[in-house]
Amino acid sequence: MSDIFREVDDDIRRDQLKKLWDRIGPFVIGGAVLIVLATAGYRGLEWWQTRQAELSGDRFIAAIEASDAGNREDAIAQLESLAADGSGAYPVLARFRLAAEKAQGGDTTGAVSEYDAIAADGGVASEMRNMARLRAALLLVDTSSVAEVEDRVGDLAATGNPWRHTARELIGMAAWRDGDYEAARGYFNDINVDQEAPNDLRQRSQIMLELIDAKIGAAASG
């Protein structure tokens, strides 16, 4: 008797499971298919992005090779194209290289404009934007006033800022060129006493401090 009850019970369970599967089976299968498709799509997108970055890398190398061969105009054209439609980090790298190419070709205004555009681009990482600001200031340090250089990179010279050493040197050089020796001494002294400043930069600051002291001393004795 117990066997008959067990068989009936098993039949009831099978019937219940069949009804349950009939209700939810299509959703389970559909969900599984969606997971497979989503995974395949992600992998495909990942492959495509990697491939596009590789192609952009090849284009970047080709532009550098054109520059090295003396074909600056061709290099600039390739870099402009890569900056417009490249993938990965290469558009930003192309913009930096484009600015450098213009600077080396004597187009300081164009180079500064490229760096300023990078610095103003909110889609670029902040450290890259700050680097662009410093490079623009470097190009202008021989022709801009202290106030103009400070306006560009003065905030980067603040204590604790990772770019402070370079920013202080640039502002100090602008002050030196303008004959504002006290201001220049302040910036170079900040570099000299900063234990985190690179050794080569501290050595340059020490040389500048000696030159400044000599200038101030000569002015006082005259």
pLDDT tens per residue, range 114-159: 999 999 999 999 999 999 999 999 999 999 999 999 999 999 999 9
Quote the pLDDT of residue 1: 46
Distance CA(201)–CA(203), nearest Å, equals 5
CA dist 117 → 50, 104, 149, 172, 192 (Å): 27, 18, 17, 25, 33
**What's the predicted TM-score (pTM) here?**
0.74
Q: What is the amino acid identity at position 70?
A: G
All structural domains of the chain with their residue ranges: 143-222
> Helix, strand, or coil here: 20?
helix
Q: What is the amino acid identity at position 114?
A: E
Distance CA(133)–CA(117), nearest Å, equals 10
Asked if pLDDT for residue 13 goes beyond 90, the answer is no
pLDDT tens per residue, range 173-206: 999 999 999 999 999 999 999 999 999 999 999 9
Distance CA(131)–CA(92), nearest Å, equals 12
- CB atoms near residue 63 (< 10 Å): 26
